[in-house]
Amino acid sequence: MQTAEIHRRWLDFFERRGHTVVPSASLVSDDPSLMFTVAGMVPFVPYLSGLVPAPYPRATSVQKCIRTNDIEEVGKTPRHGTFFQMCGNFSFGDYFKEEAIRFAWELLTTSEDEGGLGFSPDDLWVTVYEDDDEAIELWKQHSTLPEERIQRLGMDTNYWSTGQPGPAGPCSEIFFDRGPEYGVDGGPATDDDRYVEIWNLVFMQYQITDVKSKTDFTIVGELPNKNIDTGMGLERVAFIKQGVDNMYEIDQVRPVLDRAAELAGKTYGADHEDDVRLRVIADHVRSGLMLIADGVTPSNEGRGYILRRLLRRVIRSMRLLGVDGPSFAELFPVSRDAMQAAYPEVARDFDFISRTAYAEERAFLRTLASGSQTLDTAIEAAKAAETTVSGDTAFLLHDTYGFPIELTLEIAEEAGVPVDRDVFASLMQEQRDRAKADAKAKKGQRADLSVYKELRGLGETAFVGYDEFDHESRVLGIVVDGAPVQAAQEGQVAELVLAETSLWAESGGQDADQGVIVGDGFEAEVLDVQKPVPGLIVHTVRVTVGTVALDARAETRVDRDYRRGAAQAHSGTHVVHAALREVLGPNAHQAGSYNKAGYLRLDFTHGDALSSETKSEIEEISNLAIRSDYEVVTREMALDEAKALGAMALFGEKYGDRVRVVDIGGPWSRELCAGTHVASSSEIGMISLISESSVGSTNRRVESLVGIEAFRNFAAERAIVQQLTSGLKVPRTELVTKVQDLGAQLRAAEKKIAALEAEKLSQRAPELLAAAQEIGGVRAVLGSLGTVGSADDLRGLALRLRDRLSAEAGVVVLAGEVPADGGGKPVVIAATTEAARDRGVRAGDLAKLGAQVLGGGGGGKPDLAQGGGADASKIDDALAEIRRSLAG
């Protein structure tokens, strides 16, 4: 049975039993505490916890998930995967244990011909929480399981909670017995790989508090609405139904594995280490495909870093299999073909997905080349000193170059040099500890969302700001320092929840409105407007006059100038996006935006920097659209209808069943957008592109000033031009030529001055040679030359002096002060003859020693090296230390 067919049967089964089919949410989680959607129940947490009223009594989904906390186990076990799909059925105070158990047994054991999954009851085991007698009786009643295949287990395995105060309850897990050839008898209690957990039924029935650990908490009572949250692992059921040994061999994954094996000239099943690498490749390619499809792009932080790590592990694994060149163009199309039956968007958006993945591969292959040079140098030094490649170097390669430790070990082993893994492991652990501490600190800074649960239960906050600047409402809730209060006094910062508001809450790339909230006897300045939970708008205010109390009349007043500027910027973002696509083609998708009054920032998918001509063309098209006075039309409609009209849905954005479509100039710009906009494009005023830059290997960013800010920017530039034309006494049309001529004259003068300074410096060679001394068996020229033109001048003089000493054991060490920002910077140059090196004198050691005294660092080759520092007053001390070293 194909994976997509299991997917379809699951949804059909529960839809026929009154469940609302909910499409998979994005892999990018709405929950600020989660980087990704890590479980099927994540999108339903607000409903299960009661934070937000559920829009349906029962639901079902097949949810895309990503987990990377045990990434090192991928490929080694039959069940660890980074991307997986969780089939779930949920009840929000509707049905409970009996129906959940009955549904599970019915779907699993109904024959395939009748629409079920066709499991034999003889292959199934069940575990329940040890005190849950009710669940045991229900299993006996609704299944044919003998009592010995219903096992009681403890709280550590069969009790669910979030680890924090809130809902909790026992759970019941269903296992498939793979047979005696896979392990020992005895059921899931043996914790053996023979028994594969395929379904977990969570009975969310208690409220807990005083949580000290997973098994240490206080049950304070039953929940008023008992919920059901279940999850069946789609990949696990698929590998059982397809008769293969693990999830990497199912129809959605195995084709990538086979293609990787073909490229590497390997046979899957012939070698354990190669098999693990092939499974890693198959898993991570699929994960990368699905993450990019949901709008994640490679970067050095957050979700982008996780994606980058997955893709680089693929490249590393291919390299360890003997494939050094690019392979993504062979692997990603195979994964697309395997996944598109369940997720058509991977085929629809494959151009974007592939360009993103291929660019990352090219970039990392270049990184590997750079890291290899560093590693080669470290290996050469380790060989010479008969020691190891230091753990510091291995960590530098890993942390700075993204060079996997396995690759470092492989290359070093080929050269016959060990790597100090203990130091590397210690440094890695320090990094993990810092990351955990940072994550814990950030988690502690997040507000406890439970404070909004009761407020959200009063209904959604209605936003009326599309049509009204000022709107009278009433105060439904007040929160101060994370706790609900009856009133907020003058001078306090508080959060206000109103029944309706005309103030825009930050979302969709648009910054929050500015304004005030006033009522009988009070006035409050609006500091921020946010949506901490779906459907609830919270105004952070500073009470400037009087006291604001619960149920008070409150009027929201939007700062009209700010809103006008924000609307100009948001409509301007759409205009620039359309202009980008007109110039660069339809593959230039928006990948993120931010706009506020007078300013817009737009990230878009494109690999190359924009030329000056291209930027000017985009800016001109944008301003021509403004001059054309296009009508801006907003409409609400069903999501499918909007897509049929060609409205652009942006990567990473989440949309409900009803969406708002914004047209500028009809189909010229047609996007899904909930933000505030101008009525016609001419109201935008003006767009002035001020920068274009890279934000990743596949993304670019343009920034622009909008409206009056754009005019002010042009006015400022005009003033600069006027000052230059006046000062240089040339007309504006000749200004560029004049500045270029002056620049050329300046460079010629600087070159001439540098030549004179170098010549002047070289004239000191005779006196330096005359002052040479015998120190420690070598003839040493040590000199402090004061201020010099450049380090290159100093190096040139050192080389000339060394040439004069080439017939003997000679050492030259020169120090001086070169020009630098904020003053002079000390530099030390060391050079040695071959005879001096034979006596063990190395320039790199001398430069490093001198640089340490100067408060810096240095080094280089044995024959020539350079060092620098921060304190030029210690040049004489540095030369004295080098003298002592030579004497010793």
Q: Which residues are annotated as a binding site for Zn(2+)?
A: 570, 574, 673, 677
* Entry field: residues in the chain: 888
**Nearest Cα residue to 778 out of 757, 807, 749, 800:** 807
Helical (H) or strand (E) element with 228: strand 218-233
3-state DSSP assignment of residue 616: helix
Angle of helix 234-241 relative to helix 3-15, nearest 10 degrees, comes to 120
Helix (H, G, I), strand (E, B) or coil at 163: coil
The Cα angle at residue 472 between residues 468 and 473, in degrees rounded to 5? 120
Cβ atoms of 147 and 157 within 8 Å: the answer is no
Q: Which residues contact 603 (CB under 8 A, 6 or more apart)?
A: 590, 591, 592, 593, 695, 699, 700, 701
- Angle, vertex CA 522, rays to CA 521 and CA 524, nearest 5: 170
Q: What is the DSSP string of 626-642?
A: HHTT-BEEEEEEEHHHH
For residue 268, give the DSSP letter.
T
Centre a 10 Å sphere on the Cβ of residue 63 and count the other Cβ atoms it contains: 24
The C-alpha angle 284, 288, 289, rounded to 5 degrees, equals 120
Rounded to an integer, what distance in angstroms lies between the CA atom of residue 828 and that of residue 795? 9
**CA atoms of 533 and 824, how far apart (whole Å):** 56
Please report the beta strands in 707-854, taking only residues with DSSP state E, as ranges in sequence order.
773-775, 778-787, 810-820, 823-832
Select from 93, 85, 25, 23 the least CA-distant residue to 58.
93
Residue 41 phi, psi (nearest 5) = -85, -10
Distance of alpha carbon 318 from alpha carbon 312, whole angstroms:
10
Q: How far apart are CA 327 and CA 278, in angstroms?
A: 13
d(C-alpha 634, C-alpha 813), whole Å: 74
Pairing of strands 515-519, 483-484: unpaired
The answer to whether the beta carbons of residues 647 and 670 sit under 8 Å apart is yes
Task: Give the Cα separation of 144 and 150 in Å (integer).
Answer: 11
N- to C-terminal Cα distance for the chain? 79
User: What is d(CA 646, CA 642) in angstroms, rounded to the nearest whole number?
Assistant: 7
Please report how the helices 350-385 and 391-401 are oriented relative to each other, as an axis angle in degrees rounded to 10: 160
- Residue numbers in the known binding site are 570, 574, 673, 677
User: In whole angstroms, what is the distance from residue 684 CA to residue 690 CA?
Assistant: 17
Sign of CA dihedral 679, 680, 681, 682: negative
Pairing of strands 195-209, 166-177: antiparallel
**Residue 757: partners with Cβ closer than 8 Å, 6 or more residues away:** 788, 789, 793
Residue type, 781: V
In sequence order, what DSSP letters do the residues of 711-733 get, joined into one string?
A: HHHHHHHHHHHHHHHHHHT--GG
Contacts of 806 (CB under 8 A, 6+ apart): 833, 834
Strand-pairing partners, residue 60, are 21, 89
Residue with tokens 């700001």: 465
Local structure of residue 870 (DSSP, 8 states): S
d(CA 688, CA 706): 7
What's the alpha-carbon Rg for the chain, to the nearest Å? Answer: 34
